[in-house]
Amino acid sequence: MIELTRLTKRKTEKIWVNENLIEFMEETPDTVLSMATGRKIVVAETAEAVAQMARENGCAIRASAAASSPKLMEPEDEEE
């Protein structure tokens, strides 16, 4: 999950978003996340910043999985 700043009419608040549920983002000029659930979330961060956080978080998850189970990251042997 990534930490973002949700913008509302009255305030801003920190929220955690599952980056795997983001379908697409638009900058209108605020960044609007369209989630797989159909929900839309307006955040203060730019689309590029959200994408970077998602990439970094994904890499951290894969690295953690590889450390705990190296077999997950090894290519399978091809049979001839």
Residue 35: count of CB within 10 angstroms of its CB: 14
| Ramachandran class of 41: left when φ > 0, alpha when ψ lies in -120 to 50, beta otherwise | beta
The model's confidence at residue 79, banded by pLDDT at 50, 70 and 90, is: low
Q: Can you give the residue ranges of every domain in the chain?
A: 2-64
pLDDT at 39: 96
Question: For residues 56 and 63, is the Cβ–Cβ distance under 8 A?
Answer: no
Single pTM value for the model: 0.72
| Residue 66, pLDDT score | 64
8-33 b/e (C-beta count within 10 Å ≥ 16 → b): eeeeeeeeebebeebeebeeeeebbb
